[in-house]
């Protein structure tokens, strides 16, 4: 099994939250136990990347504007783009 870094876990959580804020669906997407997910979500919340929304007696998670900005910036860095030819730089 490949071990993910904390950054990779945080990104996976943010991607999952951007699709669906339900805690059960988040856990399924990131393949981590809920105890670990809660710890990571607390960190993301403390840094202003996401917030908890209480809806119908249960918690839902959503990214803040800052969280969306960070996620988009990191997507740009991780997407595979064709290399720029040296001639194009001149």
Domain ranges of the chain: 6-80
Whole-number Å distance between alpha carbons of 81 and 68: 21
Q: What is the pLDDT of residue 89?
A: 53
Residue 68 banded pLDDT, cuts 50, 70, 90: very high
Each residue's pLDDT tens digit, 22-42: 988 998 999 888 889 999 999
> What CATH code is assigned to 6-80?
1.10.10.10
Q: Are 49 and 70 in contact (CB under 8 A)?
A: yes
**pTM for the complete prediction?**
0.77
Token pair in block for residue 82: 């064709």
Q: What are phi and psi of 82, to 5 degrees?
A: -65, 145
């Amino acid at each position: 099994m490949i071990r993910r870094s904390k950054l990779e876990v945080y990104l996976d959580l943010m991607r999952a939250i951007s699709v669906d804020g339900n805690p059960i669906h988040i856990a399924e997407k990131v393949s981590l136990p809920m105890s670990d997910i809660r710890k990571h979500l607390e960190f993301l919340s403390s840094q202003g990347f996401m917030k908890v929304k209480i809806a119908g007696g249960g918690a839902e998670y959503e990214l803040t504007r800052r969280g969306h900005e960070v996620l988009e910036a990191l997507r740009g860095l991780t997407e595979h783009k064709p290399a720029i030819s040296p001639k194009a730089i001149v």
